[in-house]
Amino acid sequence: MEKQFIFTNKYISILRENVENGIIDSYREDVFPYDESQLLILPKRSKPENLLDKMLAAETEFDRAVTLYSAYDDLTPLEASYAPFWDYLAHADLYPFVKRRWPKAFDEGVNSQQYILDHWFVTTRGLMRHSLSNLWWTVAMTRGEDGDLTLTDFIFDKREDLRLALGISTLFRHKPFNRGILRFMKDNPELFSEHSAAKERFIIQYFNRLGAIKQLAFMKEPFFIETLTELKPRIMAITSREDLF
């Protein structure tokens, strides 16, 4: 099998500075012209076979996410948080996929530099803004221990804003937190038939605040479901962001 490469940190800084300075024509190309002398071998990792073809063939965001996660399902949380890994994939192995999935970098009215930074680089805005790490982490933080993907499918069903909101939560890497919220939402569809964005924001902010006084990182999935069940009347009353706190 082929070796899995990543970019050097120095090279990523150069690429990012180029974009920030408006040097972005390389992102018009069908194959990104990166400097092969700036590659490092990722130890104990092999490049998955035919991953690009599988990603291009996947028809839905859910399918793409599961395909990517399955190719790297044994990444540790530390490895999956490593920016050079995702930035390399976005510029090299999976560049054609990223370019096709996020094709508006040079559309009229688009801030091309920010658009490229958001989708090709892991930035200070977090892993959930990156075109690939977003997919992997969403699966990792929602799949059941038995491999069940019911809640993963649920969050990919027209809930991009919820994915981003969960991704910036202080509790995002605590899987019971994510699964508890999603299970509650899936089991109570009538509660979110209207004003869902404001209600989702309230739920996430509520637990972020509760986490300041309670060790939520040790709580299991039922705790989050039971807490939300008790909050039902309050959630039902929310109609806009002004109702949050």
In order along its 245 residues, the chain shows pLDDT tens digits of 789 999 999 999 999 999 999 999 999 999 999 999 999 999 889 999 999 999 999 999 999 999 999 999 999 999 999 999 999 999 999 999 999 999 999 999 999 999 999 999 998 778 888 999 999 999 999 999 999 999 999 999 867 788 888 887 888 889 999 999 999 999 999 999 999 989 999 999 999 999 989 999 999 999 999 999 999 999 999 987 666 65
Token pair of 166, please? 């969960």
- Supply the DSSP string of the chain, one letter for each residue: -PEEEEE-HHHHHHHHHHHHTT--GGGGSSS----GGGEEEEEEEEPPTTHHHHHHH--SHHHHHHHHHHHTTT--TTGGG-HHHHHHHHHTTTHHHHHHHS--TTSTT--HHHHHHHHHS-BTTBGGGSTTHHHHHHHHTTS-TT---HHHHHHHTT-HHHHHHHHTSTTTT-HHHHHHHHHHHHH-GGGGSSSHHHHHHHHHHHHHHHTTTS-GGG--HHHHHHHHHHTHHHHHT--SGGG--
Rg of the chain over Cα atoms, rounded to whole angstroms, equals 19
Q: How far apart are CA 182 and CA 138, in angstroms?
A: 12
Q: How far apart are CA 25 and CA 97, in angstroms?
A: 18
The gap from C-alpha 242 to its chain's centroid, in whole angstroms, comes to: 27
Give the model's pLDDT for residue 124.
77
Give the model's pLDDT for residue 245.
56
Residue whose structure tokens are 């990919």: 156
Token pair of 179, please? 């699964």
Residue whose structure tokens are 């990156």: 130
**Cα dihedral: 155, 237, 210, 153 (round 10):** -10
Q: How many other CB atoms are there within 10 angstroms of residue 226's CB atom?
A: 13
Give the model's pLDDT for residue 128.
86
Using alpha carbons, list the distances in angstroms from residue 93 to 5, 71, 145, 192.
9, 13, 29, 39
Backbone angles phi, psi at 235, to 5 degrees: -65, -45
With 0-12 / 13-18 / 19 or more C-beta atoms within 10 angstroms meaning exposed / middle / buried, residue 71 is middle
Q: How far apart are CA 25 and CA 218, in angstroms?
A: 47
